[in-house]
Structure 1
């Protein structure tokens, strides 16, 4: 098996700001994918008390719902609520925007959903850009 035969489902996108983090979600998201993402975010919280986050769902193919209720996922979500200032989601299924709208009044962080063709607006809202590779 070659290293690229199974690329990660959630990949970090480097940004132009130290306290702005971004991820590209492709394929079917599993518990290990979520744990890896929250691990990267925990590292960010060690460096920055508050961060901005963009999640681009470019080729999302589903979610392992059992992963949403694992203890590590719940802990990751709790920490995220304390450390994320702005949270932008680009693309994804229609229910993402609906869920964000439902939970927005109960959250201390700013959240916005952007359509795929509005990705530049999402980056502008965070006052960040993807870093040149």
Structure 2
């Protein structure tokens, strides 16, 4: 079921465990207020989920969005099994290393040209 809000797209793999989020531009607190309840609703019906986050023309987070990200990470530390981050810039790869201590998920960064590899990795048993 697809969702869209400004520069965010959220899709759920039908009958599966992979949730894909596409972020464009800069994430704001209001964006988290939109998509976090959608992700949490999906989490209610599964033990764990896997996430693929695609960053397109990504410009970072507002301070409010960073706070919301921290709260989400703490609240769902053990609910995400695997997290693939797909981006276009070197600093986004560094971000994957920064996120790792704040989640129980296995985290891996992929360049945008490796999107098919990211999809395969996040989906594999």
Q: Shorter-chain TM-score: what band?
A: 0.7 to 0.9
Gaps of 5+ in 2: none
TM-score (norm 2): 0.81
Q: Which residue of 1 aligns with 2:107?
A: 111
Gaps of 5+ in 1: 1-6, 129-133
After the TM superposition, which parts of structure 1 deviate over 2 Å for at least 4 consecutive aligned residues?
A: 13-18, 92-96, 99-108
Q: How big is the shift at 1:41?
A: 1.4
1:82 aligns with 2:91: no
Q: Which residue of 2 aligns with 1:44?
A: 42
Q: 1:83-110 CA deviation, whole Å, 9 max, x = no partner?
A: 0000000005422321322453674310
User: Partners of 2:103 and 2:25 in 1: how far apart?
Assistant: 28
SS for the counterpart of 1:45 is: helix
Higher-Rg structure is 1
The CA RMSD over aligned residues, in Å, is: 2.4
User: Partners of 2:43 and 2:75 in 1: how far apart?
Assistant: 9
SS for the counterpart of 1:48 is: coil
TM-score (norm 1): 0.76
Aligned residue pairs, count: 121
Greater relative CO, 1 or 2 (CA 8 Å, sep 6+) = 1
User: Partners of 1:16 and 1:9 in 2: how far apart?
Assistant: 23
Q: How big is the shift at 1:43?
A: 0.6
Larger relative strand fraction: 2
